[in-house]
Amino acid sequence: MKKILLPIALLLIIYGCRPEPSDGRVDQVTDIPNAYSIEDFKKLGLKIGEKYDNKDLPNSLSVYWGFWKDDDADEGSARFQSLGGSVGGMRDFEIRFYSSHDDAVNYGSSYAENATGSDAVLTKKESLWAEGIKNRRTSGGPDGSPLPKYGGYVIYGNFILLCEGVSLDQSLQTCSNLIRNLDQ
């Protein structure tokens, strides 16, 4: 019995002490006490393309669409694939600010889901919030139809970040790259 337990105990110790594998990604929903504003993103070099009228986006404080140079980006973005060439690491983001994390989750989640992913609603008529919809799509469908630019989103503290990517996985990496810089 001791001959069996000793190897098992050693394996548990060895594997139990190994650090968790980390790909540097934030969780899709992260509740932290920090309250961010657009000024925090501007300090990172985010270029504001447009400030949206957010009156029809429940409980939101402000919404921006902009670009950020992601030095860690791969070239598999939606825009890269639709243009067929390098875009120099520039990534599109839509940032929706709320007064609290709870407000972002409770009032913004369904709107973020509606605007992202492979089944994103890309028409004004059917979208839950149509403001800025032209910036949430990219060309490249087989029949020339628009494709979603944002494969996913992150709720981090008091904001929702819609991130460029052809998949949820790629979008979460893009979101994480920006957020890692935000928290340095």
pLDDT tops 50 at residue 74: yes
Residue 116 CA to residue 111 CA, distance in Å, equals 9
Find where tokens 């007064």 sit.
99
Q: State the average pLDDT over residues 136-156.
A: 89
What percent of the chain is predicted at pLDDT more than 70?
A: 78
The predicted structure's pLDDT at residue 145: 83
Query: Across-strand partners of 80?
Result: none
Higher pLDDT, 57 or 13: 57
CA dihedral 42, 44, 49, 55 (to 10 degrees): -50
Question: Would you say the pTM of this structure is higher than 0.85?
Answer: no
Question: 76-134: per-residue pLDDT in tens?
Answer: 544 444 444 445 678 899 999 999 999 999 999 999 999 999 999 999 999 999 999 99
Q: State the average pLDDT over residues 38-47.
A: 95
Give me the amino acid identity at 103.
D
**Residue 171, CB-side half-sphere exposure with 13 Å CA sphere:** 30
Residue 93 CA to residue 149 CA, distance in Å, equals 9
